[in-house]
Structures are given as structure tokens and as C-alpha cells.
Amino acid sequence: QIVFSRQFEQPFRGDEFQVYRVLRSINPSPYLFYFDYGSYKIFGSSPEAQMVIQDGVARVNPIAGTYRRSGDVDEDARRAEALLADPKENAEHIMLVDLARNDLGRHCSQVRVRELKEVHFYSHVIHLVSKVEGRLGPDANPIQIFGDTFPAGTLSGAPKFKALTLIDQYENQNRSFYGGGIGYIGFDGNMNQAIVIRSFLSKDQVLHYQAGAGIVVASQEEKELQEVNNKLGALKKAILKAGC
């Protein structure tokens, strides 16, 4: 699997914080952030952790498997059942759960899948989400662990090194902020980092945003392109509702 992405940009002269306020309202997610670095700003509404370390336990939450929401509760329930039964989406999800287990296994003992293929509903999409965690040793270095597991397999594909090589070869632009990590690393060894997806970079009066989809041999180009557009739905709606 390879997770190819598409980058979008548009001129922007409005208030970034207003876009962020609208985004967090229409697409509430586990990670809501707004960072103002002066010459540029990064803000978003990310559903996925890059890495969480708490009290000696490291955790990642692979998100893979996506259907579009319909706007109707009953239809969304049917789509969730269809997503759980979709062989392609399930195969991709299990592949990325295994990759997360491998990544954590480099530094952890007792690696286990605590939750598998839970259905999560977001404003524009339905996702399958799992939780993989492992116990760290007493001498574990959180920065080393973060580096060894970066980027998330859900942003690269698997096997990771080969997928990243092909992404570098075929994507026609640097990913910049997209797919990075944003959060904190504490002096106590705890960490909480979100993956920078469903997010904006505002720089030089231009808004940049990006999304991707996992490509496998069974993929259909039109469906993968639609998945990218579905993931960007909340971002585009936030721009419009903010009046920018």
C-alpha cells in the first residue's frame, strides 16, 4: 500500500483564527490546535495520534478505512456496516495495524491490540480506528521512539520504507507540514503528538491544505480521489463559512 496525497492552496486575506473556530465547530476531533509562529500559522482538527506515551505505555491509533457520511443517521449506520464488511478497507486496516505493532515492537514489550476496527463518525467521513499499545522499558527514550515510528504508517503505507521511497519519487511536491507531528514531549517522558492532517498552513497570504488515500492493487482511481475530497470536506466548508 502507498498513501499518495494531493496538495491544495488558495489565496487568503482573512482571519485564520476564525477559520479555525469554524473548523473545530463543524469537525470536532480529538486534537484541536492553533499555533501562531509569526510568519506562518498551523491549525487544524486532527482525528489521529502520531504517538502517545503515558506512564511507560506507548500507544498509536491507526485510522484506515473511510466511507463518506450521508447526512442521514440511518444511512450512516448502513454505511458503517458496509465499511466493516468491505474486504479492501479491512485488509488495508489490518496491514496498518500490523505496521503499528512492528513500529512499537522495536522499543516495547507486551505489544497488544487493545481495540480493533472501531467505527468512529466524524463530520464528513466514517473511519475504522484501532488502538495498539506496548510497555516501554525503564531506559526508553521518547524522542528516539518518536523518530523510529515516524511518519505514521497511515500516512506512508506498508512496507514503510518502500512506500516512502515511492512517495518521494512520484509526489510532485514536498509534503511540508502535512503528515508531521504536533504536540508535546514532557521532561517526565510522557508525550502526546497528533498527526498534522485535516489541517491548514497559512503563510504569505496563502492557505495550504492536503489529504491522501491509500492505494493498493484493488483500488479504483475514482474512489480514491473521492476519499481525498471527502477528507477535505470539513476544511473547505470551514473556509466558506468563515467568509474567506
Catalytic residue chosen out of the listed positions 24, 59, 69, 127 = 127
Grid coordinates given for 220: 479504483
Q: Quote the CA–CA distance of 12 and 217 in Å, as a whole number.
A: 38
Give how far Cα 234 sits from Cα of 19, 97, 145, 239, Å. 11, 26, 32, 9
How sure is the predictor about 244, in pLDDT bands with cuts at 50, 70 and 90? low
Asked about 154 being catalytic, the answer comes back as yes
Cβ burial, residue 237 (10 Å; 0-12/13-18/19+): middle
**Lowest mean pLDDT segment, chosen from 53-62, 98-107, 112-121, 214-223:** 214-223
What pLDDT sits at residue 131?
Answer: 94
E strand or H helix at 4: strand 2-11
Mean pLDDT of the chain: 91
Among 31, 67, 178, 209, which one carries the catalytic annotation?
Answer: 178
Provide the whole-model pTM: 0.86
SS3 (DSSP) at 153: helix
Q: How many domains, the chain?
A: 1
Catalytic residue, from 44, 134, 183, 214: name it: 214
Supply the CATH number for residue 64's domain.
Answer: 3.60.120.10
- Annotated active-site residue in 154, 180, 208, 212: 154
Reported as a single tens digit per residue, the pLDDT across 8-45 is 999 988 899 999 999 999 988 899 999 999 999 999 99
Distance in angstroms (rounded) separating the CA atoms of residues 145 and 155: 17
Task: Find where cell 503515558 sits.
Answer: 54
Confidence of residue 221 (pLDDT cuts 50, 70, 90): confident
Give the number of other Cβ atoms within 10 Å of residue 146's Cβ.
18
Instruction: Give the pairing of strands 2-11 and 31-36.
Output: unpaired
Residue 10's contacts (CB-CB under 8 Å, 6 or more residues apart) are 206, 207, 239
| Residue pLDDT, tens place only, 130-178 | 999 999 988 888 888 899 889 998 999 889 999 999 999 999 889 999 9
183 with 191: CB under 8 angstroms? Answer: yes
Out of 198, 208, 212, 233, pick the active-site residue: 198
For residue 198, indicate whether it is catalytic.
Answer: yes
Active-site residue flag, 208: no
The boundaries of the domain holding residue 209 are 2-241
